[in-house]
Chains A and B, each alone.
Chain A
């Protein structure tokens, strides 16, 4: 039976989403981690409302970044262990396209929940409605890039002992631009300066990552599986 590329892509996406929905407990972990990290900062920095208002956006961004980082490890692991990843690479369709479905699924089950809880955390940090909006927009454009870049590192460290720590070491420098532009947008908004340039940069990085990263991830998976 011949399966078209579009339906194969759709099948991968649907399968990954279904698997995550069936394990709802795991789905919540990144969000809980995100909220816990963000609420640690006031404990460390003091509860001064003006201070929190100015550093809050940065805290939320770092929290989102760390939560993404920790959630990445599971992106390919189950598929690697049960062999379905090899099937994916053996399929007649380009692995990069199928991998992009897996990355999208990862963003939908980790990035989107992080986004949804951000307004609540913003309230905890006394952010103004304007800062909230810009923060949300930045995360909306930035978290998919984090998932994309992350997928390369996960693919490279597949099956290695202590892969989790290695993933962080590989990714933190690559995540820096997203953090700069995302947090910069909010800082600019607080000074009543234009935020669109930051959004354009985030969008540009997302566009670049979305086109290039699936190819790199597919190559990395091939390298890791030795085919």
Chain B
């Protein structure tokens, strides 16, 4: 078991394997995003209350999901980096943070645009908006810490502790601001057997969400590969790989 994982997580093997995956992932992401965008912008029916403006949902909701998912991914990678000292996990945690921050920023920006149309204001101090904003700051803090520490091993250890402390705090932050103030509409897709959304709108949304996910996978692998090259630049296999 452990032997399997250590072989799987060995950096040269991962570097070669991920190189084969990346083109497929890019293609799948592009396909899903094109289909989802068409479905969302063209095929899905007009909302009876919000008109066409609701269509920003097909970007807003997947990016908000990704904002949370990437943090969980980062925390999971940090935990395995911290517990088992897996180098690959350290690298994955480090390179996924900027992507997570970008998804969070996208969720905030699209939400702000949507709010400007629907609530007539760019920003309200509502619970969900505020907790996403705080999540954004958590990402920026993680990135700032990574940037401040030069030694990569030390940066990874410190980042792992921070990400784990953050992951314990996320529910506390979420419920504290929930208590503090709420105006945002409730989540619409919380129960999959009986969602409060028609199938015509749901399938483009899920396609977009899947597309975002595959995009994230591809982008993380690309970033991880360049991080590996930078970290291991004095190793024989990297020199051979680059020379090839």
Contacts and interface: CB of A to CB of B under 8 A. Distances in A.
B137 interface: yes
Interface string A89-130: 000000000000000000000000000000000000000000
A174 B157 CA distance: 19
A172 interface: yes
Interface stretch (A9-17, A28-36, A49-57, A177-185): A177-185
Interface string B73-103: 0000000001000000000000000000000
Name the residue among A160, A174, A212, A222 with the largest chain B CB count within 10 angstroms: A174
B148 A173 contact: no
Contacts of B166: 173-174
Nearest to B149: A160
B81 to A, nearest CB: 11
A78 interface: no
A65 interface: no
Contacts of B141: 169-170, 173
A173 to B, nearest CB: 4
B173 A173 contact: yes
Interface residues of A, number: 32
A223 B169 contact: no
A173 B138 CA distance: 6
B145 A152 contact: no
Contacts of A213: 165
A210 to B, nearest CB: 13
A2 B137 CA distance: 46
A163 B149 CA distance: 10
Contacts of B160: 223
B168 A156 contact: no
A176 B170 CA distance: 11
Nearest to A221: B161
A219 interface: yes
B170 to A, nearest CB: 9
Contacts of B138: 173
A181 B157 CA distance: 31
Given A169-B141, A170-B145, A176 B161 contact: no
B140 interface: yes
Name the residue among A173, A212, A216 with the largest chain B CB count within 10 angstroms: A173
Contact of B176 (A169, A176, A216, A222): A176
B176 A180 contact: yes
B68 interface: no
Contacts of B113: none
A201 B164 CA distance: 21
A224 B168 contact: no
A184 B179 contact: yes
Nearest to A179: B176
Contacts of A212: 168
A176 B173 contact: yes
B172 interface: yes
Contacts of A172: 137
Given A170-B141, A212-B168, A220-B158, A184 B180 contact: yes
A216 B164 contact: yes
Contact of A223 (B157, B168, B179): B157
A201 B161 contact: no
B162 interface: yes
A201 B172 CA distance: 10
B134 A176 contact: yes
10 contacts: A156-B158, A156-B162, A163-B148, A166-B145, A173-B166, A177-B176, A180-B176, A223-B154, A223-B157, A223-B160
Given A176-B173, A180-B180, A223-B157, 19 more contacts: A152-B161, A153-B162, A157-B145, A166-B144, A166-B148, A169-B144, A170-B141, A174-B166, A177-B172, A181-B176, A184-B180, A205-B172, A208-B172, A212-B168, A219-B161, A220-B158, A223-B161, A226-B151, A226-B154
